[in-house]
Amino acid sequence: MRYDEVPGNGILFRIYYHYTLNTKFIHLPMMKIAVVLLPLLMLLAVSCSDDISQWRGPDRDGIYQEKDLLKKWPEEGPRLTMKIEGIGKGYSQPVVYDNTIYVTGIKSDTTDVITAYALNGEKLWETVYSRAWERTYPESRGTPTIEKGRIYLIGGMGDLVCIDAKSGAIQWKHNPNEDYQGEYMGWGIAESALLTDTDVLYITGGKETTVVAFDKKTGQLHWKSKSTGGRKAYASSSLVEWEGRKIALIQTSDDLVGIDVKDGSVLWTYNTIQYHVEKGKGEAANTPLFQDGEVFVTYGNNQPGLMLRIPENDSSFHLKWKNDVLDTHHGGLVMLDGTIYGSTMVHNTKGNWAAVDWESGQTLWGKEWYNKGSIISADGMLYLYEERTGHVALVKPSRVALEVISEFRISEGTGPHWSHPSIYLGMLLIRHGDVLMVYDISAE
């Protein structure tokens, strides 16, 4: 049996990697390790079999559950273990599921493609799943959402597809944007599909409905919400639990909306563009952050970040505070220990970095570091990837200052560095254009 045929073999792969490829352990026989640990690995595989891989980590909050990672990198950066060229043009995020790397891209001028790679870089399969976005910045945008062996994807022109993760075969397909008179904004469709216990959700925007839900297995329509008004924004949604309900936090061009995912009931709406004083109204591109009944959203373009409280007995969110500094463009946010971290926006191609207190909205610090960009977290550290020149930083979270511990620069690939990095199995995955780079960031 090959390692990639063993359930839960991500753990086995890491053992192999550290005990046979690292020179100081090269004398240890791999087969003995595998024989001793395989029963335990099988049990761990069963317990982890329902894990989800999706946009910005398991909870869509930018936090990855990896442990034992480097707290400082070599001067030249962490070790590059693999580079895959020709993955297709795109800004979507690479994800890993069942020891397979999945990434979307455009390999012709008209189609979105998803490709599956083994951890050694071998291409396993490739599937065309949608018409690609055809206008400005014609790159793939949607990140795969993978659960229980099925991949859910939203294409650049609105297709929603379910794909078998092993074979790449399309299991069902719809275009809710066309079927339900969806309305999207001028930069196209960038949503990554959100899953509930039973359904996959899709934001249409427009006058007929705001959100539709399809059965994950069959693709049959389960429900559609009423329309709350506004077009489809660029942000992917998040699923939260509050007071016994599972709630999808949806953003349109006009509002932040709470949807009961059981039946599509609209629980609350809050008009957010009332605070937007400059161009780019409604350009929601960041997934909301949630904690203890409070939601933080931010929009870029000098529009304030908003902290909203989910209501208990009325029909609207309550504004708790707004912050005029943390106007993240599309790089996402991370909240650690009561502090929100993210990039700010000076203008469309320039920005800085900041930290804001979750409770009060006070700006704790603002700092220049090359340029604005994306941010994720793992093992108590922050990872910054600035979008203009491709610098990557390992940062110690601090309420006092931006503490860059290590940094290096991405020199492969072309175009803006807009793809968010991801972390799986001790690996830092960074996508730039049609090149995917994998770095070993596991601690020895």
Q: What is the pLDDT of residues 326-352, one digit of tens each?
A: 999 999 999 999 999 999 998 888 999
> Are the C-beta atoms of residues 129 and 170 closer than 8 Å to each other?
yes
pLDDT of residue 356: 98
pLDDT of residue 314: 62
CA nearest 435: which of 412, 416, 419? 412
- Angstrom distance (rounded) from CA 336 to CA 173: 38
pLDDT of residue 281: 59
Q: What is the pLDDT of residues 59-71, one digit of tens each?
A: 999 999 999 999 9
Q: What is the pLDDT of residues 277-321, one digit of tens each?
A: 665 555 799 999 999 999 999 988 888 999 999 877 766 789 999
CA nearest 38: which of 3, 85, 80, 78? 3
SS3 (DSSP) at 141: coil
Q: Cα 210–214–216 angle (5° rounding)? A: 140
pLDDT of residue 8: 43
SS3 (DSSP) at 391: strand
Q: How far is CA 31 from CA 19, 39, 272, 332, 403, in A?
A: 11, 13, 58, 42, 43
Q: What is the pLDDT of residues 44-91, one digit of tens each?
A: 433 333 489 999 999 999 999 999 999 999 999 999 999 999 999 999
Domains of the chain as residue ranges with CATH: 1-49 (no CATH), 50-440 (2.130.10.10)
> Are the C-beta atoms of residues 133 and 191 closer than 8 Å to each other?
no
Q: How many other CB atoms sit within 10 Å of the CB of residue 28?
A: 13
Type and span of the H or E element at 30 = helix 30-47
**Residue 150 structure tokens:** 């099925």
CA nearest 141: which of 170, 105, 116, 115? 105
CA nearest 404: which of 23, 65, 73? 73
pLDDT of residue 13: 47
DSSP state of 72: S
pLDDT of residue 134: 85
Of how many residues is the chain composed?
A: 444
**Residue 232 structure tokens:** 């489809």
- Angstrom distance (rounded) from CA 270 to CA 258: 9
Tokens 């996402």, located at residue: 332
> Are the C-beta atoms of residues 140 and 112 closer than 8 Å to each other?
yes
> Are the C-beta atoms of residues 356 and 298 closer than 8 Å to each other?
no
All residue ranges of the chain with pLDDT < 50 are 1-50
- Angstrom distance (rounded) from CA 17 to CA 34: 12
